[in-house]
Structure 1
Amino acid sequence: MFINRYDELSFLEERWKGEKAELIILYGRRRVGKTYLIRRFMKEKRGAYLFVSKAGQPLLDEFSNSIMEQLGLSFRPSIRTFKDLFLLLGKLSSDKRLLVAIDEFQRMAEAEPSFLMELQRCWDEFLSKSRIMLVLMGSAVGIIERLGLSQASPIFGRRTGQIKLKPFDFSCSKEFFRRYGPEDKIRAYSVFGGVPAYLSMVDDSKGLMENISSLILDNKGPLYEEPYFLLSQETREPIRYMSILEAMSQGATKLGEIASKAGMSSSDLPRYLKVLEADLDLVERRYPLTERRRGRTRYHLKDNFIRFWFKFVRPHLTLLEMGEKERVLEVVRMQIDEHASLAFEDVAMEHFSREVVR
């Protein structure tokens, strides 16, 4: 199912048709659909998708194999340095359009700072004169903005476009559960949020509670440990970040409150909140109306699924590990409308905003 990414797809298609060299940054939080979008765009195009799993020499070996296989080369190119990589891409795109997507490029750029510096030199020297369309993809939003978009980046002034993929709003999310009634659509949105990877798991031929049970509450379900997996992939201290999110889920919104509940000092907390807000897009800051003075900032969980998980899964992990998911599901049944009330406010505001635009 392809939903609500037509503007982004159209943008990419237009840049492809232009045939001049393109350097595009495609970024957004994990599981928001970047890979799905780029793979759809790459269909029937001459191109290669390269995934950065680790840095160093083995990575360049992986790139060599991927390029040979995906482009149908009769030889395995020798890629020992980043310059070798860019020279190869320049040669392959010298007189014919070539699409290359490098996914999670920030891992390579952070581990090997020479990557972006070499890209800058090669772009200025020959890649900008080729027919390449190079798409750099990443999921750590704040890091991508620093590495690829800021004035301090080696490739500043070279990019020709950028796309920030965001989670779906309610009007798009509800398309994943078309068979549900209006109330259950809002309840489902309050549970799974707007992240396409989560929404695509919902089977709307089954009831909402059945989906919650099998996908989230079952200790073998795909979303049972999702927050921990997400934080383990993106941070070095997942347990500390879990504690902060748990504190916020319990109603703490001020720095002092969050720090106290999370068992850490208020002076250490801001750097963790910065990651959760800027890099992971899980937390947002709000201010009392007309107030933006120091100390007035309030921090809130931004993601519906994270809010649901910390409200219903985290406090009942012992029961769920014992296989007592029906007992927890009964708690969900009793409290789902209260939980969904926050999502309903967002849905109402979304509807109001659309009506005003009309």
Structure 2
Amino acid sequence: MFVNRLSELDLLEKRFASGKAEFFVLYGRRRVGKTELMARFCEGKRAVFFVSDLGSEISLRTALSSSINATIYGPGQLDAVYSSWEALFQALSQAAQKERLVVVLDEFPYMVTAHPPLASILQKSWDQTLKNSQVMLILCGSYIGMMEETVLGYHAPLYGRRTAQYLLEPLQFIDARQFYPSFSKEDQVRAYAVYGGTPAYLHTIEPHKSLKENIQENILTRGSYLYDEVHFILQQELREPRNYFAILQAIAAGKTRLNEIKQATGIDGATSYLDTLQQLHLIERLVPVTETQPQKSRRGIYRLKDHYLRFWFRYVLPNRSQLERGGTNFILENQVLPEFDHFSSLAFEEICQQYFWRNGLSGKLSFLPEKISRWWSANEEIDLIVVGEKDAILVECKWSNQPVGTKILADLERKAHLVERELGDRKIQFALCSRTGFTPQLIEISTKRSDTLLLDLNQILEN
């Protein structure tokens, strides 16, 4: 199942039709769908599609030679192995002199690991021949740090050669929900809280089964694809997975500030590990939305960015002993389900954030958002603030089985006084997002005010 990615395909198609050599860099965390996107883009095109592995230099050159020969001469027509990488790139240049040729080198960092001079060789080949051909070269990679080191960074051999680059993000809720259309709207939000927008994880969902059954059979059951996924990801991407694992575990347990993480893990050099985890898009550093210098802010906190990591560290890892012994149903009924709605509340907040971005950028809000994120002080917090040039909307997101009433609006108005100095002279409005709707009293009040917006689950999900 291939969902959305329309803007990404459109960007690739425009580059394909440019009439000149293209050097496109596509990167993003593992499992996010880069290879599937490339496969869809290459359909019906003259293309060399090569997915690298952790093999040796000669094995990779042999495999890529075979892919090139099959595209240029036809399958089984030529078995020759190019004697060097220079000769291989020269063959690609010659094949693209008169006709567009797409060349996808997927997991390019693996190739550089097998043969470190490769980036410099490609740079020389690009400068001498490839840039004057009709080639569309696409380099893909999962480890963002290494992609920056070998391709994107200022000191990288290939710096300045790219004609376009794109960071492929996980799917947003509006697209992710297409993997489970049979679920109720509330279970769609809960499913997003568990699986997030990572296509590889979404593909494990069996939509004819309930969300509860999917979690029990495809996550909590020993031997299922997602049961050991976190271990596999860290082992594939990182040289010292033990330290990274300890940091992720600390953040999942609520240790969100740098000093707290250092104390919980005993790792003095935690900052460098945190930077790598951010490059892998496994965690994110958040600061209050009103901060003018986010990188220098002392109010920053760390949070697991990947939804499935949150679920795994919350419910799989702590209950590993019982799960190993077949206690899946017990853990589901006694650990997961009793606090499932509390766990899902953060995902609902993110869905609301996506809603305001989508409506702001499409002109459905009264102003164009510049930033949308959380705000907090020592003892107070606001779920979201939509910040524009002259306006701001303070948003409360309630994933509760009780209708939202007037007390919530009054409390949000009180918090407005706490943040108004940081918002300057922006005109403040209010929005309440509720899973279960609103009390008649609040609905009546909102109809008499022009600064208050009420959004129930149907409005948020269907808009």
TM > 0.5: yes
Relative to 1, partners in 2 of residues 1:125 and 1:185: Cα closer, same or farther, differing over 3 Å? same
**Which sits farther off after the overlay, 327-336 or 17-26?**
17-26
Please give the alpha-carbon distance, in whole angstroms, between the structure 2 residues aligned to 1:206 and 1:287.
39
- Correspondence 1:285 to 2:285: yes
The aligned runs of 1:173-322 (5 Å cut-off) are 173-262=176-265, 264-265=266-267, 267-278=268-279, 280-288=280-288, 290=290, 292=294, 293=296, 295-322=298-325
Q: Secondary structure at the match of 1:219?
A: coil
Q: How many residues align?
A: 355
The aligned runs of 1:1-358 (5 Å cut-off) are 1-54=1-54, 55-71=56-72, 72=74, 74-262=77-265, 264-265=266-267, 267-278=268-279, 280-288=280-288, 290=290, 292=294, 293=296, 295-330=298-333, 331-357=335-361, 358=364
- Equivalent AA in structure 2 for residue 348 of structure 1: C
Please give the alpha-carbon distance, in whole angstroms, between the structure 1 residues aligned to 2:170 and 2:83.
38
Please give the alpha-carbon distance, in whole angstroms, between the structure 2 residues aligned to 1:63 and 1:183.
47
- Equivalent AA in structure 2 for residue 13 of structure 1: E
- Equivalent AA in structure 2 for residue 115 of structure 1: L
Please give the alpha-carbon distance, in whole angstroms, between the structure 2 residues aligned to 1:356 and 1:100.
38
1:256-280 CA-to-partner distances (Å, cap 9, x unmatched) read: 2112222x23x311111111001x1
List runs of 5+ in structure 1 lacking aligned partners.
none
Compute the displacement of 1:65 (Å).
Answer: 2.1
The answer as to whether partners of 1:78 and 1:84 remain within 8 angstroms in 2 is no
Please give the alpha-carbon distance, in whole angstroms, between the structure 2 residues aligned to 1:66 and 1:240.
39
Higher relative contact order (CA 8 A, sep 6+): 1
- Equivalent AA in structure 2 for residue 245 of structure 1: L
Q: Looking at secondary structure, tell me which structure has more strand per residue.
A: 2
The answer as to whether partners of 1:146 and 1:153 remain within 8 angstroms in 2 is yes
The answer as to whether partners of 1:96 and 1:131 remain within 8 angstroms in 2 is yes
- Equivalent AA in structure 2 for residue 17 of structure 1: A
Please give the alpha-carbon distance, in whole angstroms, between the structure 1 residues aligned to 2:340 and 2:48.
45
Q: Looking at secondary structure, tell me which structure has more helix per residue.
A: 1
2:418 alignment partner in structure 1 = none
Compute the displacement of 1:356 (Å).
Answer: 3.0
**Which sits farther off after the overlay, 157-166 or 52-61?**
52-61
Give the root-mean-square deviation of aligned CA atoms: 1.7
Compute the displacement of 1:287 (Å).
Answer: 2.1
Please give the alpha-carbon distance, in whole angstroms, between the structure 2 residues aligned to 1:141 and 1:216.
27
Compute the displacement of 1:120 (Å).
Answer: 1.3
Compute the displacement of 1:156 (Å).
Answer: 2.0
Please give the alpha-carbon distance, in whole angstroms, between the structure 2 residues aligned to 1:164 and 1:289.
23
List runs of 5+ in structure 2 lacking aligned partners.
365-463
Please give the alpha-carbon distance, in whole angstroms, between the structure 1 residues aligned to 2:8 and 2:298.
38
Compute the displacement of 1:294 (Å).
Answer: 5.6
- Equivalent AA in structure 1 for residue 338 of structure 2: M
The answer as to whether partners of 1:116 and 1:155 remain within 8 angstroms in 2 is yes
Q: Secondary structure at the match of 1:333?
A: helix
- Equivalent AA in structure 2 for residue 270 of structure 1: T
Please give the alpha-carbon distance, in whole angstroms, between the structure 2 residues aligned to 1:290 and 1:243.
31
- Equivalent AA in structure 2 for residue 276 of structure 1: L
Compute the displacement of 1:81 (Å).
Answer: 2.0
Compute the displacement of 1:111 (Å).
Answer: 4.5
Relative to 1, partners in 2 of residues 1:336 and 1:255: Cα closer, same or farther, differing over 3 Å? same
- Equivalent AA in structure 1 for residue 132 of structure 2: K
Compute the displacement of 1:69 (Å).
Answer: 3.4
The answer as to whether partners of 1:282 and 1:301 remain within 8 angstroms in 2 is yes
The alignment's TM-score, normalised by the length of structure 1, stands at 0.94
Q: Secondary structure at the match of 2:17?
A: helix
- Equivalent AA in structure 2 for residue 38 of structure 1: M
The answer as to whether partners of 2:287 and 2:297 remain within 8 angstroms in 1 is no
Please give the alpha-carbon distance, in whole angstroms, between the structure 2 residues aligned to 1:15 and 1:339.
42
**Which sits farther off after the overlay, 291-300 or 16-25?**
291-300
The answer as to whether partners of 2:70 and 2:78 remain within 8 angstroms in 1 is no
Compute the displacement of 1:110 (Å).
Answer: 4.2
The answer as to whether partners of 2:25 and 2:140 remain within 8 angstroms in 1 is yes
Compute the displacement of 1:288 (Å).
Answer: 4.1
Identity of aligned residues (%): 40
The answer as to whether partners of 2:189 and 2:347 remain within 8 angstroms in 1 is yes
**Which sits farther off after the overlay, 232-241 or 337-346?**
232-241
